Amino acid sequence: MIRNLLFILLLVCAFSCSSDDDTGTQPANGISDPGFYGLQVGNAWVYKSYQRNPSTETYDDTGVVDSISIVGTEVINGHTYFKFRRLTTGNTSNAPLLSSNGEYFELVRDSLGNLIYDDGSIKFTHTNLSERTITTDSWGSIFEILTENEVQLTVEAGVFTCNYSERYAKSHEGEQFPGLDRFYYAEGVGLIYDTNSFVSTPIHAVERRLDSYNVQ
């Protein structure tokens, strides 16, 4: 059975300070440049999830809240990764399109504008316009590509100028499925908004919006 298009974005990603190939450096005073994604220990973001109501064609507050913060750093193979903590509440029914309740941690960094997990995979890029493969399954593959567009996006936390990527699925024969997700990032802040869709449906089922944030 074809699962939903988006593997829900659980967190924003971070940058490496210790390699010449990475954006940003670690100054002598120990305070790093937060860069495009607003990456700094102590920074925090709160997101709320909204689900589409077919009757009204609007998105209703689900009560699910993702509270994300940067709680530290770890050096792996000479690269500095930021440790993100996500605490999700409100998903008492374990709705599959929403973040699961509980506490989760991820290690991520920013290298040349690419958001990289500690396993080397890229979650987002604001510099590379090439299509990349996210995952491959028996029915097809999921791809993501950065668009060349900048847009003004209004969410509960304010108005932001964003770069965004699009995620979609194709059959092994190259046919693109109707589902389309988007991920919006603002310079100096990070993730602003993302969507979650089924591959067979052109209208996204869930959207997550930045509700408040505190970045240095």
- For residue 200, give the CATH number of its domain: 2.40.360.20
Range with the poorest average pLDDT among 19-23, 77-81, 147-151 = 19-23
Nearest CA among 40, 21, 30, 133 for reference residue 83: 40
For 79-98, how does the pLDDT look when each residue is reduced to its tens digit (9 = 90+)? 999 999 999 999 999 998 99
Residue 21 in any domain: the answer is: no
How many structural domains are present in the chain?
1
Note if the pTM is more than 0.85: no
Residue 30 in any domain: the answer is: no
- The answer to whether 178 and 199 have CB atoms below 8 angstroms apart is yes
User: What pLDDT, on a 0 to 100 scale, did the predictor assign at position 115?
Assistant: 87
For 95-140, how does the pLDDT look when each residue is reduced to its tens digit (9 = 90+)? 989 999 999 999 999 989 998 999 999 989 999 999 999 999 999 9
Residue 200 in any domain: the answer is: yes
User: What pLDDT, on a 0 to 100 scale, did the predictor assign at position 34?
Assistant: 77
Residue 12 in any domain: the answer is: no
User: What pLDDT, on a 0 to 100 scale, did the predictor assign at position 17?
Assistant: 33
Residue 1 in any domain: the answer is: no
Confidence of residue 35 (pLDDT cuts 50, 70, 90): confident
Rounded-to-integer distance, Cα 66 and Cα 86, Å? 6
Rounded-to-integer distance, Cα 91 and Cα 98, Å? 7
Residue 20 in any domain: the answer is: no
Q: Print the domain residue range for 51.
A: 44-214
Mean pLDDT in residue range 39-52 = 97
